[in-house]
Structure 1
Amino acid sequence: MPVAEPAAAVPLIWQPPAGALWSGRWVDGASSMPVHDPEDGSFLGRVTDAGPAEVDEAVTGVATAIASGESWPAWRRREALDAAAHLLLRRRELLTEVISREGCKTVREADSEVSRAAETLRLSAQQAGCLTGETLPFSDTPRGHDRLGWYTREPVGVVAAITPFNDPLNLVAHKMGPALVGGNGIVLKPAEATPLTALAFAQILLDAGVPGNRFAIVPGTGSGAGRALVGHPLVDLVSFTGGYRTGNEVARTAGAKKTLMELGGNNAVLVLGDADSESAARAVVAGAFGVAGQNCLSVQRVFVDTRIAARFTRDVVKATEALRVGSKADERTDIGPLVNEREARRVEEWVREACESGAEVLAGGRREGAFHWPTVLTGVPADARVMTEEVFGPVLTIEPFDTVDEAVARANDTLYGLQAGVFTAGLEIALDVAQRLRVGAVMVNDSSDFRIDAMPFGGPGRSGIGREGVRYAVEAMTEPKIVAVRRGAIRADS
């Protein structure tokens, strides 16, 4: 099926007042960078290309606001984030357009992301009432018999956040909501490809009553703004979502700071012999090719029982070939472009490499510009990059297995460990497999591509450090502060 022709380029219905935001002011930096629609290359606008000087001004402004002790109590944080959640939904049409135009999501996917981001802010607001501590057992040791005390949860200070292009609104909300409700300041660098969404979100926070000196948005490159931000001496915690290799660079640059990282996955789905092949195939196709596979939870490797492998594979190929590749603006489109043509060429190269090593293409396997057709491979060597690395593109591999032990071993044969899925009609075998899979989450009778925003989100190995998900991010972005009182040393009438 050919790529549908994009509609004629039209200006965005929203443009930021300036290319960046810090100290409560919209500002333009010394340099700027263009933003283009990856589908047709049309120009959408310009944003600041922040360098070390601009980043320093932004971080210093937020740090100064935090250090001033200016009161922003928890109930006001809750009210502001609740108001922001409502404003997101009221501006759904605007945000849907910006997300889809500058990024790689279809309009349907972008609209869904607005709902997700509103829920993330709602969950963040609720955490204002959960910033509680507890009393401490000083009397449980002879050294503490004359003391009483407790701890509270206090903000860590200044959070530096870096977000990727694939969820340009909801992942920004996942950084900023927990940071702000925890009482922190935050400076965010959005992905180079999708800064306009983050700036639109910043306007919503201002309109909702979030103090402008509590947060900043500094668009720019990873080597410029990103490096200056995570290495800044006034930053107390770095929250990064992106690739493993970049995560290593972030950790080296940050030095001895707290870090919270989600670094992707190479997610497996196991389809056991008693599974409903047709429903499993539908779920796998949906989980593999949403956002053109540019999703850390995308299904990448499928291991299917030999007894049903032929039928399951046939169902997957049929469902894959029914997907419509076309313009993001078309409501009928299932698969839009990758974030740029360079990434589409990379995916094409990985597929070609697998095929040269013996893999067979069952569906897709072609590229036009930034579009790469949803691709199903089988017979893929275990050492091919589409098996060992995170593809972050619309590529799915299917391989048969003879025993469940073999399937679990092959699913675990990866340096990543984000999420996995298992399809089976048996509860006992589902629980056994779930226990043995080395991942952060196992979805039973669903693909790996499922998450609610209240979940602890992350995984072992290359998949990251710590857990996101609103409650767990708030915990990471606050820390205990103890108060211990020695009885007898304080006069009641003093």
Structure 2
Amino acid sequence: MTVAPGATATVAPGSAPPVWQPAAGAFWSGVWRDGDSSFPVYDPEDGALLGYVTDASAADVDAAVTSVAAAVHEGPAWPAWSRREALRTAASLVRERRALFTEVISREGSKTVREADAEVSRAAETLRLSAEQAGRLTGETLPFGDTPRGQDRLGWYTREPVGVVAAITPFNDPLNLIAHKLGPALVAGNGVVLKPAETTPFTALAFMAVLLDAGVPAERLAVVPGAGSTAGQALVSHPLVDLVSFTGGHRTGNAVARAAGARKTLMELGGNNCVIVLADAEVSRAARAVVAGAFGVAGQNCLSVQRVFVAAELAERFTEDVVTATRLLRVGSKRDPLTDVGPMIEEREAVRVAAWVEEARERGAEIRAGGRREGAFHWPTVLTRVPAGTRLMTDEVFGPALVINAFDSVDDAVRQANSTEFGLQAGVFTGSIDRALDLAERLRVGAVMINDSSDFRIDAMPFGGPKRSGVGREGVRYAVEAMTEPKIVAIRRC
């Protein structure tokens, strides 16, 4: 394995390959540094110690935010063309360092090497899209002459950076979701303080090295790994932070909102996504899409298919197809290119999923595939006849568990689909465009995928949903808009 300049390789006890580490465990004020304390990072597959990163204190976070704020508000200007070029270069560097990122993402997280490699491509694309926004930071003239009070004035507005963006990212897409926050924030002219998930900090630190090598001004960047209760709390409540961008669970989102107070927030908080399979759907196509959408990244994906409502006349045939495909999935080591499903991020998460599955079984559900757990591995599980009110029906499982329930009427399917507190995305399978558009209108979600599962996104589209699924929209263009503010200039004729 190639180790980047200024980095070291640590060999964990009982683990053969080393994992990349930066020269230090945090970054702010233009300097790589170590804090007064650190915390370990483990491979969830076998518990091997991968290394240590800084456990940022409230004082560390204050120093980081203060330095970034000074750079943004008092430092030299960073013109839009230079931002564009830096992000274009960053996209190229991510591609060049594909092997490094694939290794780091897979080792410290849950993704198989195939899934990690695909994420590297996504992140490079996100940075490319971000760079393109530099030429679209446009305002417009304002119609002062449209009112008698403004007839002696002319003016316009521009879009200006909000200032300091606090970015808090999860473990499940540790590179691309950072790119989705930092790319738009930087091209808009902001400074960023990043707190990555405690389980996947090395990916964030490797990405920081890319941005620095690409020419992003070092003083506008900071990474403060640490616990949410200390580093996260200090970051979102800091008075010099102008916008908080958070991706994670809705309960943590509530805590972030309380700590942030009256300031701008962007929050993506997950979903309990459904797919509706109508009687005229192509069964085998729908089954394949559902299996792929339910069990990628061991189900730890905010867009994962969790609930399927299938027309009663197709239910058994569809279920058999899903069960057959699920049983063919290969559960095993993340490092094996043939593996389809690796471990969950921590054993306690696998234990939690097993408890939710058992709750459904005890209340009358039938386990048709899976239902097995070993350590952090939970086998892809398919359940039918799952009662309303069980956690699999109401909450986000964020694990490899799939519900298939039959419906007798489309109205009933829509009612059940909308019966959760979430509304991120949904899928609809049908051969009728009229039925597809009817369901797209009636489903209370942020996106409806026709003849596809809920698990689809391009990085340019507005991303988010109503209810507890979030606040605002991400997606590069829409995040840039949220991370800027209009500034009006009005001139009065003498």
TM category (shorter chain) comes to: over 0.9
Which segment drifts farther, 105-114 or 403-412? 403-412
1:485 aligns to 2:481 (yes or no): no
Deviation at 1:132, TM superposition (A): 0.3
Contact 1:133/1:152 (<8 A) preserved:
yes
Deviation at 1:69, TM superposition (A): 4.1
Deviation at 1:8, TM superposition (A): 6.0
1:135 aligns to 2:141 (yes or no): yes
**Counterpart for residue 19 of structure 1:** 25
1:92 aligns to 2:126 (yes or no): no
TM-score by length of 1: 0.97
**Counterpart for residue 461 of structure 1:** 467
**Counterpart for residue 180 of structure 2:** 174
Deviations 1:287-321 (A, max 9, x none): 00000000000000000001111100000000000
Contact 1:13/1:94 (<8 A) preserved:
no
Contact 1:361/1:377 (<8 A) preserved:
yes
Contact 1:11/1:44 (<8 A) preserved:
no
**Counterpart for residue 88 of structure 2:** 82
**Counterpart for residue 349 of structure 2:** 343
Q: Determine the C-alpha separation between the residues in 2 that align with 1:219 and 1:431.
A: 45
**Counterpart for residue 130 of structure 2:** 124
- Aligned to 1:150, what secondary structure does the other structure show? strand
Deviation at 1:68, TM superposition (A): 1.1
Q: Determine the C-alpha separation between the residues in 2 that align with 1:471 and 1:348.
A: 39
Identity %: 75
**Counterpart for residue 3 of structure 1:** none
Which segment drifts farther, 262-271 or 11-20? 11-20
**Counterpart for residue 333 of structure 2:** 327
Structure 2 gaps, min length 5: 1-12
Deviation at 1:24, TM superposition (A): 1.4
**Counterpart for residue 298 of structure 1:** 304
**Counterpart for residue 452 of structure 1:** 458
**Counterpart for residue 390 of structure 1:** 396
1:163 aligns to 2:169 (yes or no): yes
**Counterpart for residue 475 of structure 1:** 481
1:246 aligns to 2:252 (yes or no): yes
Going from structure 1 to structure 2, the CA distance change for 1:24 and 1:69 (only over 3 Å counts) comes to: closer
Deviation at 1:346, TM superposition (A): 0.5
Deviations 1:50-76 (A, max 9, x none): 010100010001001011141110000
Q: 1:353 aligns with which of 353, 359, 362?
A: 359
**Counterpart for residue 72 of structure 2:** 66
Q: Determine the C-alpha separation between the residues in 2 that align with 1:308 and 1:378.
A: 13
Q: Determine the C-alpha separation between the residues in 2 that align with 1:381 and 1:406.
A: 14
Deviations 1:175-232 (A, max 9, x none): 1000000000010000000000000000000111111101100000000100000000
For residues 47-446 of structure 1, the aligned pairs below 5 Å read: 47-446=53-452
Q: Determine the C-alpha separation between the residues in 2 that align with 1:310 and 1:344.
A: 28
For residues 22-33 of structure 1, the aligned pairs below 5 Å read: 22-33=28-39
Q: Determine the C-alpha separation between the residues in 2 that align with 1:50 and 1:448.
A: 37
Contact 2:296/2:341 (<8 A) preserved:
yes
Matched letter for residue 458 of structure 2:
I
Deviations 1:411-461 (A, max 9, x none): 111110000000001111101111110000000000000000001000000
Going from structure 1 to structure 2, the CA distance change for 1:17 and 1:155 (only over 3 Å counts) comes to: same
Deviation at 1:379, TM superposition (A): 1.1
Paired residues, number: 482
TM-score by length of 2: 0.97
Contact 2:14/2:48 (<8 A) preserved:
no
- Aligned to 1:308, what secondary structure does the other structure show? helix
Structure 1 gaps, min length 5: 1-6, 489-494
Contact 1:422/1:445 (<8 A) preserved:
yes
Contact 2:309/2:406 (<8 A) preserved:
yes
**Counterpart for residue 492 of structure 1:** none
**Counterpart for residue 4 of structure 1:** none
Deviations 1:452-479 (A, max 9, x none): 0001000000000000000000000000
Contact 2:332/2:340 (<8 A) preserved:
yes
Deviation at 1:10, TM superposition (A): 2.9
RMSD (Å), alpha carbons: 0.9
Q: Determine the C-alpha separation between the residues in 1 that align with 2:102 and 2:51.
A: 17
